[in-house]
Structure 1
């Protein structure tokens, strides 16, 4: 390997190291207030591809009315898995207006893919069973800063 190639390889490894380390620990993002009817939600907002890729990985717990909302640039079929996610979660796939398309119950540390049944712009992850315990299902509209009330 030439001297220049060695320098480029070292530079590339140095540049990728922070990303690798970031994906090995829980992230904590700014949050927004949302609601599902009378039920209040405090949701961290994952907007960037890196934030969405890490999501709720490496967390050992999630407060009862806390979650994470994943914001995508455009509506499409969205699919989620639970690799490196230590807690069971429910994912509500939401359309452009914040209406629930479908909800998936997801097991920790699983590579099983859970997808929206239609184009989704947002995905809200909460503790497992959060939506079903409150009677929230497909067609229910959420309120928050992303949609008009």
Structure 2
């Protein structure tokens, strides 16, 4: 689940000042790059959390799945992605966590220290759900994308099934805007 990450250089000076991103950051163009840069600039000042507690104050993005709205926390840095939804005891039905990686690759997740049963949607750049994986709490079982993806959305287990959302469905929102 952990991957190295380079933030886009948009605007690079502001990103460095706000997040301490090194000069080797890659330039990312298009709507995704603008969105990613805005997320980095909007990071809460004290977003470093104690290792044992849940991360509750990440930046957010609104996504849609048909007529359904999703309020997703955004796990953008390697540390945020590694911690994910660990230690959360509950999560509202319309909320989730969107994991953003710098480039598409096979993504694999596990549930170490994660107390909630979740479903992971592995999502292509255009918002198409590649595959869905139900994950049991506090296990080390690996749940992987069927092909390389840049995004993974974790929701409470059963959320996608209750809404009739399956692989092949498209999600909407800023991260999936056409370039």
Q: Normalised by the shorter chain, which TM-score bucket?
A: 0.7 to 0.9
Question: Where in structure 2 are the equivalents of 1:56-71 lying within 5 Å?
Answer: 56-71=85-100
Query: In structure 2, which of residues 48, 51, 66 is the aligned counterpart of residue 23 of structure 1?
Result: 51
RMSD after superposition: 1.1
Equivalent of 1:98, from 122, 127, 144?
Answer: 127
> Which whole-Å deviations, capped at 9, do the CAs of 1:13-47 have from their partners, x for residues lacking one?
xxxxxxxx733110021111111000000000000
Flag the structure with larger Rg.
1
**Which of 81, 91, 105 is residue 76 of structure 1 equivalent to?**
105
Q: How many residues align?
A: 129
Name stretches of at least 5 consecutive residues in structure 2 with no aligned partner.
1-48
Runs of 4+ aligned residues of structure 1 deviating over 4 Å after TM superposition are none
Question: Which structure's residues are more often strand, by fraction?
Answer: 1
1:140 aligns with 2:179: no
Q: Distance in 2 between matches of 1:122 and 1:147?
A: 9
1:128 counterpart = 2:151: no
Question: TM-score normalized by structure 2?
Answer: 0.70
